[in-house]
Chain A
Amino acid sequence: MTCTVSASGLSLSFGRTRALDEVSLRLTPGVTGLLGPNGAGKTTLLRVLATAVPPDRGAFTVLGHDPGSARGRQEVRRRLGYLPQTPGFHPGFTAFEFVDYVAVLKEMTGRAARHREVRRVLEEVGLGEVRGRKIKKLSGGMRQRVALAAALVGDPGFLVLDEPTVGLDPEQRMRFRELIAGAGETRTVLLSTHQTEDVAMLCHRVVVMAAGAVRFDGTPAELTARAAGRVWSSRTRDAGAKAGWRTGDGSFRNVGDPPEGAEPVEPTLEDGYLLVLDGAGVDAEVAA
């Protein structure tokens, strides 16, 4: 399959903090999930791939262009859509005006064509009816969709989404998942998230990061398979488990190395994720 993003040995430090440590990965069309606990380096990796900050070491290409040079960086940005972790808005703008502002930044200078594109992306995210409403009067979910619409301006080939479902209620999250899935049908989408359900429902591939490094890179099924035979149910909390919690039926679900005679249960993506983090030295209880 065509490789959209190819990164090799990306490293970046902020003072003494090593935010990225020799990260290498390849992204192909479809939605790739990026999982990891707080401080794992997810946002830093996304900002590097979005050309917001250059890495200290390593190199990467996006759609064949090297952002290491000014010209290559501009070519990458012409093909990039970016939804930052906390998208900022100009509160006095309407949804249309804000997306139009981003369209101007994306070099769309022709007024009629630009307005047509703004209407198209706002319709795509389901905000066509409220395009004239001030952003400060929109709900949190609608604001996220405005930011997504801004990211979709110009039909980018590479879409970078940093925790877009944080703070959304279940209905809004489901709506957003539909939009991301739709976006991933024709593009390469890198989706950073804390929600393993997002990955299970949307992604054809998942990358797990911890302490600035990639700890797992494979399919969701492969990540789930990491927990095969390592999840069991018990009537009381099992002290030997890496992580354990009481479920709705009163029994305990344990993840780790099962004791003799344990009753195994079907693993989930989250179980695999916890075990990968445990292998990386991250406290699975904390990560859970």
Chain B
Amino acid sequence: MTWHVDESDLRAYARGELAAPALWSADAHLTACAHCRGVLAGVSDPAALDAGWERLDAELDAPRPGWFEGLLVRCGVGDGTARLLAATPVLRRSWLGAVAAVLLTTFLVACSAAATGTPTLFLAVAPLLPLASVALAYGPALDPAYEMAVVSPTHGFRLLMIRTVAVLSVALGVGGLASLAMPGYGLRALAWLLPGLALTATGLALTPRLGPVVAPSVVAGAWGAVLLAADAARQSGDGLAPFTAAGQGVSGAVAVLGAGLLFLLRDRFDVSARGVA
């Protein structure tokens, strides 16, 4: 060997700080030069080397994440957050349930629209999907490790929000796709969105008081009552009040109020529901 890598370059190489193309040159040279490998061993920090091996060992030793968790990580979700989301099987089931429900709703819409010429049934049912999805993603009866999660230093409200955002993203996305499948109705096909957010926020805000099952049930019942009342009050040929401009305004206001109330009650999610053993 007629030449050797400069010692300062070897030190940088040992620290992982040597940049290309000197890095490539050093890589190729070290495979063939025992002298430089000896110098490299002398200038390497044993502690850093051990830490590197330990990191490598940990990476090789860690089990491969499941497809769902792997997908979340590939989509840019942090590995810890991905683990939190993957830890709730019911979350995945609720997603599938939401997808199936939306597809079914779309089918019903197609049938009803053919008969009535309006998307009213779709608009009435679609807001319940995010409400139901979020309700199924949280709660002592649905999370097998709920008790362990409650006494962890991760705030219960933060955990709830992580799951809620994930579920809402899918439920609203799928609902949006269903709306796009009805281009003939224009923006009217999106009139379920604000009522859906209003129902979800109200359902979550009532959860600390009524529990994770009764609260969304009460909200869903109230939504049904509002629709029946609106149907009874409307004039022939008018749309249902919740899907008019004024109704959308009310839904938006309820959504904001519900979100505000939810934020004020956030500490109530940090302890277990009473009576849950």
Contacts and interface: CB of A to CB of B under 8 A. Distances in A.
A131 B63 CA distance: 9
A214 interface: no
Contact of A90 (B80, B87, B151, B155): B87
B91 to A, nearest CB: 10
A107 B83 CA distance: 12
Interface in B101-139: none
Given A53-B274, A84-B147, A150-B148, A101 B153 contact: no
Contact of A53 (B149, B152, B271): B271
Contacts of B62: 96, 115
A77 B151 CA distance: 6
A112 B55 contact: yes
Contact of B148 (A51, A73, A87, A115): A87
Given A70-B267, A104-B83, A51 B151 contact: yes
A64 interface: no
Chain B interface size band reads 35 or more
Contact of A89 (B65, B145, B149, B155): B145
A88 B146 contact: yes
B84 A101 contact: yes
A101 B145 contact: yes
Interface string A62-106: 000000001001100110101011111111111011101110111
Nearest to A19: B275
A226 interface: no
Contacts of A104: 80, 83-84, 154
Interface residues of A, number: 46
A96 to B, nearest CB: 5
B42 interface: no
A121 interface: no
Best-surrounded residue of B159, B267, B272 (most CB of chain A within 10 A): B272
A139 interface: no
A97 B63 contact: yes
A105 B84 contact: yes
B17 interface: no
Contact of A91 (B89, B150, B153): B89
A97 B146 contact: no
Contacts of A132: 63
Nearest to A147: B148
Contacts of A50: 151
B249 interface: no
A43 B277 contact: yes
B27 interface: no
B5 to A, nearest CB: 29
Contact of A74 (B143, B153, B271): B153
Given A87-B145, A104-B154, 15 more contacts: A43-B277, A52-B272, A87-B148, A88-B146, A90-B144, A90-B145, A98-B87, A100-B83, A101-B83, A101-B84, A102-B148, A105-B153, A109-B78, A109-B80, A150-B148
Interface of A: 14, 43, 47, 50-54, 70, 73-74, 77-78, 80, 82, 84-94, 96-98, 100-102, 104-107, 109, 111-112, 114-116, 119, 131-132, 150
22 contacts: A14-B274, A14-B275, A52-B147, A73-B270, A77-B152, A80-B151, A88-B144, A88-B145, A88-B146, A89-B144, A91-B89, A91-B144, A92-B89, A98-B145, A104-B154, A105-B153, A109-B78, A109-B80, A115-B61, A115-B62, A119-B61, A132-B63
State the 7 A-B residue pairs at the shortest beta-carbon distance, nearest first: A88-B144, A105-B152, A77-B153, A52-B272, A104-B80, A84-B147, A101-B87
